[in-house]
Amino acid sequence: MPTRFAGPLVLLRELRETMAATLGAQARLDRIVDLIAQNMQADVCSFYVLRDDGALELFATHGLKSEAVHTTSLRSGEGLVGLIAAGAQPLNLANAPAHPAFAHRPETGEDPYTSFLGVPVLRAGQTLGVLVVQARDRGAFQNDETEALLTVATLLAEMISTAEFDNLVSTGSDIDLRRARTFEGAGFAEGVALGTVVLHDPRVVVTNFVAEDIGAEKTRLDEAIRTLRLSIDTMFSTRDIKAGSEHHEILESYRMFANDRGWVRRLDEAVDQGLTAEAAVERVQNDTRARMLRQADPYIRGLHDLDDLANRLLRVLTGDPGVFQARELGEDTVLVARNLGPAELLEYDRDRLRAIVIEEGGPTSHVAIVARSLGLVAVGQAQNITAMCESGDDIIVDGSSGRVHLRPPPGVQATYIEKMRISARRQEHFAAQRDASAVTKDGVEITLLHNSGLLADLPALKETGAAGVGLFRTELQFMIASRLPRMKEQTELYAQALDTVGDKPITFRLLDIGGDKVVPFLRSTAEENPAMGWRSLRLAFDRLALMRTQVRALLQASGGRPLSILVPMITEVSEFAQARVIIQKEVAWLKKIGGTAPQSISIGAMIEVPSILFELDRLMPLADFVSIGSNDLVQFLTAADRANPRVSKRYDAIGLPRLRAMHLVVSAARAHDVPLTMCGELAGRPIEALALMAIGIDRLSMAASSIGPVKELIVAARLAPIRERVLKALKDTEDPTGMRELLISLAQAQNLPL
C-alpha cells in the first residue's frame, strides 16, 4: 500500500508554528494531535500522559470522543498503551483488536480502528507518556511513520516537562514526571537534611528542537562529532594514561561510542526527521537509555559512559560549559551527583551545603569521610537519581536510613520536620552531656577523640567535649588547594590547629595522598589499583622533599608545644623506622639552627596494612603509640574496595576474622605498653564501637557528630559481661553466633541506646 504520509518535515514545520503560537496548554495539545492525524492521514491521534498513580490519562485526542479527554485512563500495563509505557518500545499493528493486550474502551469509541501505531514519550529513558495514531483498516504503519512519531514524541516530552502542563492533569493527581520518588541508598553520614537539589553535573537543556535548515543542522552535527572525537584523542595524548587503567578504559569506551557507526547513523537519521542536531542527540540518547535501563541486568557503567558522551556532544553543540559555579549555591543546598571526588566536594561553599547524594561510593570512601568532617548529611548508592531530578527540586536526605525522598509530599515533609525537631532535642541532650566523662557503669573510662582535617571542623571540639583530635588528616589541605601548599601555608594551618585545640592533644597524620585522594598537582600516572598503588608513605619516600617540608612545617608550628605525628600506610617495620629517622633528622636540624623544638614529640604508627599485623612484636618497641585505620585494614583484609558499592558492605567489618585481627593489635599493644587508638570509621558507630571496647580498645577517634551517640552508649553500658562473652566467642571454634548478632543481643540485654 503506498504511503499517504506527507513526511516528518512538513509535520515538524507545522508543529513549530503551533509551539510558537500564543495558545493555552490544552489548546496547544489539541492542535498538535490534529496536526499529527492530518499529516499521517490517520483517523485518530491520542496523547496519554503517565500520572503519579501509574495510570495513563488521555490528555488530548483527535478522532476519539472528546468527553474522554482527562476522564479516561488506563492502568499501567493495561491495554496496548500500557504495554508501550511499560516496555518503552513502539508498537505497530495491522490488527490491534487481535493483540492479546488490547483493552476495549467503549467510552472512547475506538471500535472501528484496526491499524495502530504507538510510541513512548521518553525523558532520560523514563516513560512520560504514550503517543498513538490509529486508522481504519490500512494495514501496519510504515517505518518512516514510526520514526516521525518518535521524533514528535521527543518534542512532546520537553513540552510536558514545563510547568504549563501541570494543571491539565485531572484533579487530585500529578504527572509522573513530578512524582515523589524514594531512593533506597546507603547512609554515609548521619542526620536529616531538607533542601533543594543542585546537580553537580547538570544536564544540558535543549530548547531548540525543530530544524529550520536540515543541511545546516547536518553540518553542525558533523562538526560537533569531529570536535568530540578530537577532544577524546587529545585527552589520550595530553594525559599520561596507562593502558589498562580505569581512566584508560573509560576513554576507550568514549572513543568506541564516538566512532560507533550505528550511533552516528541514528543521530543523522534523527536530523533527517527534522530535528536540530542537539534535539537529535537528546532523542537518540533517550532511546538508548530506555533500552539499557530495561535490560535484565542493566549495564550501568556503559550507560553512564554514553550519558557522559551525549552530554559532551550537547555541550559542543550548545556552547554550554556545564560547569556549575560553586558560588551560586542557594541556602540549604543538597548536592546530587553520580560520583564526586573529595576534592570536588571541597570546592563547594560549605556554609550553604546541607547534604550530598551520590549514585556510587562506599561509606568509607573519602568523599564520605570529607562529608562527615564537614558536618554534612550524606547518602550514597542512590541509583539513577541524577536522571530523575532537576536542580531546584525539593529533597529530603535521611543519612541514618540511607533513604532519599525526592519531591516529597507534604506528609513526608511534616514527618521529617518532626524528626529534625527530635534530633535537635537529642543534640541538645548530647550537648548537655558534653562535660560528663565517657565512663561505663562498671567504671571503664573510654577516651573519645575527633577525626578532623580542616580548621572549620576543629571548633566542634568545644561542643562535643571530646578529649582531643585523634586523627588530623593533613592531606585535606592539599586536596582543596589549587597548587602545592608552601611550607609557610602548611605551618600556618598546623599552628592554627594547635591554637584551636588549646590544651587538648592533636595528632597530625603525615600526608596520605593517593588512592581516591587525588591531588591534581601531584598527579602520578593513572594506576590500575590506586588504593594499593603509589600512595601515602610510599609516595613520601619517593618525594622526600615533600615529606621533609611537611615535617619541618609541623615542627615549626609546634613552637615548643608537644607534637604528635602519625605515620600512615606502614607495610613493613623498616618503613616506620625510616620515617622516624627522617623526623628525628629534622628535629636535629631545627635545633642546630637554633629553632624551638617541640616540648616532646611522639611518633605513632598506623596499622592499616595487614602485613604489619605479623610484625607487631617488632613495631611496638619502636612506636610511641599506634592507631588502627580500620577503613583500609578491612579493605585489605577482605580484598574488597572500600569505595566500590558492590563489595564495600559485603563483609562485616566486625565479623570474626576482622575482630580477631584487631584483637592481635590490642594484645601486642598491651604487651608493650603502647597506647592504642582506633581512628577508622568503625569507632563512630555504636555497635561497632561496642565491639571495639569489648576487645579492649579504649581510645576511639571519630567524626564529631558521632561523639554524642557513642558517649550515650558508653555511660549506659556495663562492659565486663560484654567483654567476657565477646572474648570467649573470639576464641571459641565451635560458637556459631555471628559477632554482630552477639553484640546486638548483648546490647539489647542491657537496653543500650543503639
Residues engaged in binding ligand PEP (CB under 6 A):
369, 471, 473, 512, 608, 629-632, 679-680
Rounded least distance, CB 632 to Mg ion, Å? 4
Rounded least distance, CB 515 to ligand PEP, Å? 7
* CA dist., res. 477 & res. 637, Å (int): 29
Q: What angle do CA 276, 281, 282 make, to 5 degrees?
A: 95
Query: Phi/psi at 181 (nearest 5 deg)?
Result: -130, 145
Which one, of 207, 179, 162, 168, lies nearest residue 48 by Cα? Answer: 168
Rounded least distance, CB 702 to ligand PEP, Å? 10
* CA dist., res. 8 & res. 21, Å (int): 20
| By CB under 5 A, residue 393 contacts Mg ion | no
- In the bound state with Mg ion, the residue whose beta carbon lies nearer, of 382 and 511, is 511
Rounded least distance, CB 630 to Mg ion, Å? 9
- In the bound state with Mg ion, the residue whose beta carbon lies nearer, of 314 and 513, is 513
Rounded least distance, CB 116 to ligand PEP, Å? 59
Subset of residues 427 to 446 that bind Mg ion, contact rule: CB under 5 A: none
Residue 369 binds: one of Mg ion, ligand PEP, none (C-beta under 5 to 8 A by kind): ligand PEP
Catalytic residue (choose from 62, 247, 366, 663): 366
Q: Residue 746: enclosing H or E segment and its boundaries?
A: helix 739-749
**Residue nearest ligand PEP (C-beta atom):** 629
Q: Which residue has the cell 603525615?
A: 510
* CA dist., res. 563 & res. 598, Å (int): 6
* CA dist., res. 645 & res. 598, Å (int): 43
Strand partners, 122: 127
Residue 115 binds: one of ligand PEP, Mg ion, none (C-beta under 5 to 8 A by kind): none
Q: Residue 711: enclosing H or E segment and its boundaries?
A: helix 704-716
- Report how many residues bind Mg ion under the rule CB under 5 A: 3
Residue 99 is a catalytic residue: no
Angle between the 8-20 and 143-160 helix axes, to the nearest 10 degrees?
Answer: 20
First to last CA, the chain: 73
Q: How many CA atoms lie within 13 A of 491 on its CB side?
A: 12
DSSP 8-state secondary structure symbol assigned to residue 67:
G
**Residue nearest Mg ion (C-beta atom):** 632
* Cell numbers for 328: 551560586
Rounded least distance, CB 457 to ligand PEP, Å? 14
- In the bound state with Mg ion, the residue whose beta carbon lies nearer, of 420 and 661, is 661
Rounded least distance, CB 192 to ligand PEP, Å? 25
Residue 680 binds: one of ligand PEP, Mg ion, none (C-beta under 5 to 8 A by kind): ligand PEP
Rounded least distance, CB 172 to ligand PEP, Å? 50
Order of all β-strands in the sheet with 73-74? 73-74, 56-62, 44-50, 126-135, 115-123, 91-93
- In the bound state with ligand PEP, the residue whose beta carbon lies nearer, of 185 and 680, is 680
Enumerate residues 6+ apart whose C-beta is below 8 A from 487: 549, 552, 553
Rounded least distance, CB 683 to ligand PEP, Å? 9
* Cell numbers for 153: 514524541
Rounded least distance, CB 687 to ligand PEP, Å? 18
CB 473 within 8 A of CB 342: no
* CA dist., res. 296 & res. 288, Å (int): 15
What is the chain's alpha carbon radius of gyration, rounded to the nearest angstrom?
A: 31
- In the bound state with ligand PEP, the residue whose beta carbon lies nearer, of 134 and 452, is 452
Rounded least distance, CB 120 to Mg ion, Å? 47
CB 711 within 8 A of CB 436: yes
CA 196 to chain centre: 16
* CA dist., res. 337 & res. 190, Å (int): 19
Residue 389 is a catalytic residue: no
Rounded least distance, CB 507 to Mg ion, Å? 14
- In the bound state with ligand PEP, the residue whose beta carbon lies nearer, of 217 and 512, is 512
The site string for Mg ion over 580-619 (x = CB under 5 A, - otherwise) reads ----------------------------x-----------
| By CB under 5 A, residue 629 contacts Mg ion | yes
Catalytic residue (choose from 45, 389, 663, 679): 679
Which one, of 490, 448, 489, lies nearest residue 469 by Cα? Answer: 448
Report strand pairing: 403-406 vs 394-398: antiparallel
| By CB under 5 A, residue 632 contacts Mg ion | yes
Angle between the 719-731 and 686-694 helix axes, to the nearest 10 degrees?
Answer: 80
Cβ neighbours of 30 (radius 10 Å): 20
**How far, CA to CA in Å, does 690 sit from each of 634, 658, 686, 694?**
17, 15, 6, 6
Q: In this structure, which long-range contacts are made by residues 218-225, counting pairs with CB atoms below 8 Å and at least 24 apart in sequence?
A: 218/268, 218/271, 218/277, 220/276, 220/277, 220/317, 221/267, 221/268, 221/271, 221/277, 221/280, 221/317, 224/277, 224/313, 224/316, 224/317, 225/258, 225/264, 225/267, 225/313
- In the bound state with ligand PEP, the residue whose beta carbon lies nearer, of 118 and 680, is 680
**How far, CA to CA in Å, does 139 sit from each of 7, 424, 510?**
18, 67, 75
Angular region, 536: left φ>0, alpha ψ -120 to 50, beta rest? left
- The H-assigned helical ranges of 259-379 are 261-272, 277-293, 300-318, 342-346, 366-373
Residue 679 binds: one of ligand PEP, Mg ion, none (C-beta under 5 to 8 A by kind): ligand PEP
| By CB under 5 A, residue 681 contacts Mg ion | no
- In the bound state with Mg ion, the residue whose beta carbon lies nearer, of 288 and 631, is 631
- In the bound state with ligand PEP, the residue whose beta carbon lies nearer, of 91 and 570, is 570
Enumerate residues 6+ apart whose C-beta is below 8 A from 261: none
Footprint of Mg ion (CB under 5 A): 608, 629, 632
What are the residue numbers of the active site?
366, 679
